[in-house]
Amino acid sequence: MLLGRSRFVLVVVVAQSVCRLVHAQHEATTPIVQSAITQADYDMHITALKTKLPAGFSYVIQPPFVVIGDGGATSVQRHATQVVKWAVDKLKQEYFAKDPAAILDIWLFKDKASYDKHTQDIFDDEPTSPYGYYSPTHKALIMNIGTGGGTLVHEIVHPFIEANFPACPPWFNEGLGSLYEQSMEKDGHIWGLVNWRLGGLQKAIGANGVPPFEKLCAMNSNQFYNLDRGTNYGQSRYLCLYMQEKSLLRRFYQEFTAHQKEDPTGYQTLKKVLGMEDMDAFKKQWEAWVMALKF
């Protein structure tokens, strides 16, 4: 299975394992909590959905979501099973014990024209991203699926973070989400790959424009999203990728969620998991690692 968008591409490869090494962070799976959402809840949700469903749209129930689209029933079914179900199963295996508390809709608009029109008509929104976004207000993931599936997997992470780690700081929320906007299946686990964000990050490193990790971790939403957004996303993603490659990412998530009250930014947990007290030295080491990557 391969989904893509020119530069902005998700690779979701369900293939035979190319690496037989089972990493320590994958030795256990996350216990799954039974969803409180019932079939009766889905029935009521679908009844309400039908009252606002535009002509030409079809839907598939794919718990904990309802997947809706105007690209044809076959396309909606394919995205529901090959992307949504795959991502949900793998993310829950790796990190998340709880489903979102409410049923969420995933709207897959077939192209830019449909995306622009229906975000306005259905949600009275003007999207800030040409690819898609998660709207807690509308309990929906709203996607221009014509650009590829990468943003869809990225956005699926956010409602699971919301349900399992509501105090998550923006750097880790977006770092984990963007890690999987280009990913594959490896040894039965979701695995992030180098992607298009690398070039911007390498440029920022070359210009000495990447902040210390303590500053990144401490950023609030306004700082993260509005002050050098591209560098913040890239730094967060490639820190997560680094931890993944060192078999530390799942451990970091577990320790951070367990100790978030005393370490709200995750910076102290990061130092502990990396085994690094001198984070200036680590930043130089990490930057050299990033500069050696190729996309």
What's CA 174's distance to the chain center, in Å?
7
Residues 80 and 149 in one domain: yes
Task: Read off the tokens for 55.
Answer: 């002509």
Residues 141 and 253 in one domain: no
Ranges of the chain with pLDDT below 70: 1-35
Per-residue confidence (pLDDT) for residue 131, from 0 to 100: 95
Task: Read off the tokens for 17.
Answer: 């394992």
Considering only CA atoms, give the Rg of the chain: 19
The residue among 106, 135, 164 that closes a domain is 164
Give the torsion sign (CA, 92, 75, 2, 139).
negative
Q: What share of the chain is helix, strand, coil (3-state, %, to 5)?
A: 50, 10, 40
Residues 148 and 224 in one domain: no
- What is the reported pTM? 0.88
148: CB partners within 8 A, 6+ apart: 3, 4, 5, 8, 9, 10, 131
Q: Which domain holds residue 137?
A: 24-164
How many structural domains are present in the chain? 2
Q: Would 38 be classed as within a structural domain?
A: yes
Roughly how many angstroms between the first and final C-alpha of the chain, as a whole number? 20
Q: Would 222 be classed as within a structural domain?
A: yes
The residue among 164, 188, 209 that closes a domain is 164
Q: Would 17 be classed as within a structural domain?
A: no
Q: Would 87 be classed as within a structural domain?
A: yes
Residues 74 and 197 in one domain: no
Per-residue confidence (pLDDT) for residue 152, from 0 to 100: 97
Q: Would 7 be classed as within a structural domain?
A: no
Residues 33 and 160 in one domain: yes
Residues 259/263/266/269 CA torsion (nearest 10 deg)? -60
Class of residue 254 by CB neighbours under 10 A (exposed 0-12, middle 13-18, buried 19+): middle
Condensed to tens digits (0 to 9), the pLDDT of residues 180-195 reads 999 999 999 999 999 9
Condensed to tens digits (0 to 9), the pLDDT of residues 75-132 reads 999 999 999 999 999 999 999 999 999 999 999 999 999 999 999 999 999 988 999 9
Q: Would 3 be classed as within a structural domain?
A: no
Question: How far, in Å, are 97, 264, 288, 289 from residue 242 at the CA level?
Answer: 24, 21, 12, 8
Sheet strand arrangement including 58-62: 58-62, 65-69, 104-109, 140-144, 132-135
The residue among 120, 140, 164 that closes a domain is 164
What is the CATH classification number for the domain harbouring 87?
Answer: 3.40.30.160
Give the torsion sign (CA, 15, 20, 22, 28).
positive
Residues 189 and 145 in one domain: no
Per-residue confidence (pLDDT) for residue 36, from 0 to 100: 82
Per-residue confidence (pLDDT) for residue 34, from 0 to 100: 55
